[in-house]
Structure formats: structure tokens, C-alpha cells
Amino acid sequence: MTLKLDKVNRGPHLSTLVASSISREIAQGRLKPGDQLPTEQALATTFGVSRNVVREAIARLRSEGRIWSQQGRGAFVADAANATVLTIDYEALQRADSFRNLFELRGMLEVQIAALAATRRSDADIEAMEQALDGMRTAPYGSVAWLKNDLGFHRAVAEATQNPYMGQFLVFVSERVRESILAAGNQQKSDDMARTTLGEHERILAAIKAGDAKGASAAMTRHLAGAASRVGLPGGEASAKPASPARHSRLRKAVRGQAAG
């Protein structure tokens, strides 16, 4: 019984609504960097909520680097470049083009990471990869345990680069991709797929073990092409067409205005 409950309860919290509202004002340019926000009291009355709610919203925006505040002065809009967090809008991932774009980004990271891992891996890294592969062999394809070990393998590869940011970024992107796949929920499973996928991973591991950077990235490329087709994306990688026509070129703001909603 696959009860498919919708994941994000779009926060019933008032503070979430207030934060989104202010965020939108910033994203759409009605509040420019350096501008002073209305006082908490004013915001509270205009939104019709208590000052406490406004404070929670501001605390949130502050933690995201969107605004900064100082006791006795007020709250101000921070420079857009100062955003200390990178967020990916969950809603956007439901759109096919966004998903494809994110998948492409993941692929770019993975391929490079595989090559780097091949030149820097330690024995412990190799062992971690083999352990993850073992976990995949004993778990049914597509099960939670399988997915966990799948991600674990890729994380182990990323950690083999000895660069913590690689793993951090890759896991972040991969998780968004995975969520999106689960949300779509239309992948069919078969033992054949399990064997194929496992084989792709094994080839990656073999190349990394051998210290073959070129081979590792090639194997990873093949793996990603396979993964793409398994989730219903047009498989090719190098000659992939632009995910979205040249519309984006003039819309830099669209990229920056992250969670406008």
C-alpha cells in the first residue's frame, strides 16, 4: 500500500508566510539592498500578526543572509550576493525542465568527481565503496536500503576526492534529484535493472581502484546515461539539447530570486 502523502505541508506557520512575503518583496525588487525594513511593530500590524511572528520570520531571513539587523537601528536588506545559503525550490523540481537541469548539474559533478577520486582515493575510500556495493547487492532494487547504499556509494566516491565540499554539494544535489524522482514515482523496477545498475557501479569502482581517472569518468558517464534513461530522461549526455531554449539568457533575476514562490 503506497499511500502517497504529499511531502511538504506548506508551512501553516504564520512566520513562514511572513518570511515568504518579505522574501518576495526583496526578490521582486520592491525592497532593494540597503533598504530599511519597516519596524517590527509596523510589519506586525500590516500583516495582522503579533510581533513575535514577525520576529521569527526575520530570524529566518537573517539566517539565510537575506537581511541583517542591529539592535536599536532596524533591519536592512542585505546584498544579494551575501546570501549564505543555497536553496533549491522544491516546487520547481516538479517541472520537467528543472529536473533535467538539475540532473545535468549532478552529472557534471559526478563525472569530474569520479576522475578526481581515481587519483586520490585511499584504501579506506575503496572499502567504503565496496561496502556500499555489497549493501546494494543484498537489497531489492529500488528499496529504501538500496537507495541508501546507492547514495552511499556516490558519497564515498565524492569523499575519495579528499575534498569535503565535493561530497557536500553532490549529496545536496543528489538528494534533490532523488526527491524529485520519488515524487514522480513512475519508475518501473526489474531485476534486469538491478543487474545493469550494479554493473555500472562496479565498473566505476574498478576504474577508481586502478587509479584510471579517464576510465572512471567514462564509467560514470555511462552510469549517468543509464540512470537518465531509467528515470525517463532522454539518455544522451554529450549532445544533449539545451534543456530550455534561450529564454533564460536575459533573465538573470529569475535565477537569483530563489524562493519567491
Cα distance between residue 123 and residue 121, in whole Å: 7
- Residue choice 28, 39, 82, 168 for contact with DNA (CB under 7 A): 39
Cα distance between residue 216 and residue 86, in whole Å: 29
Work out what residue 41 binds among DNA, a copy of itself, none; the CB cut-off runs from 5 to 8 Å by kind: DNA
**Residue corresponding to grid cell 569502482:** 205
Cα distance between residue 163 and residue 161, in whole Å: 5
69-103 in b/e form (b: 16+ CB < 10 A) is beeeeebebbebeeeeeeebeeebbeeeebbbbbb
Nearest distance from residue 57's CB to DNA, in Å?
Answer: 9
Pattern 19-58, a copy of itself, x by CB under 8 A: x--------------------------------x--xxx-
For DNA, the closer CB: 46 or 94: 46
Cβ-based neighbour number of residue 118 at 10 Å: 25
Decide the pairing of beta strands 74-77 and 67-70.
antiparallel
- Residue choice 22, 27, 31, 102 for contact with a copy of itself (CB under 8 A): 102
Using rule CB under 8 A, residue 150 touches a copy of itself: no
Nearest distance from residue 40's CB to DNA, in Å?
Answer: 4
Using rule CB under 8 A, residue 130 touches a copy of itself: no
- Residue choice 19, 58, 136, 205 for contact with DNA (CB under 7 A): 58
Using rule CB under 7 A, residue 46 touches DNA: no
Amino acid code (one letter) for 61: L
Question: How many chain residues bind DNA (CB under 7 A)?
Answer: 25
Cα distance between residue 24 and residue 88, in whole Å: 15
For a copy of itself, the closer CB: 104 or 212: 104
Q: Can you give the binding site for DNA, defined by CB under 7 A?
A: 10, 12-15, 37, 39-41, 48-53, 55-56, 58, 69-75
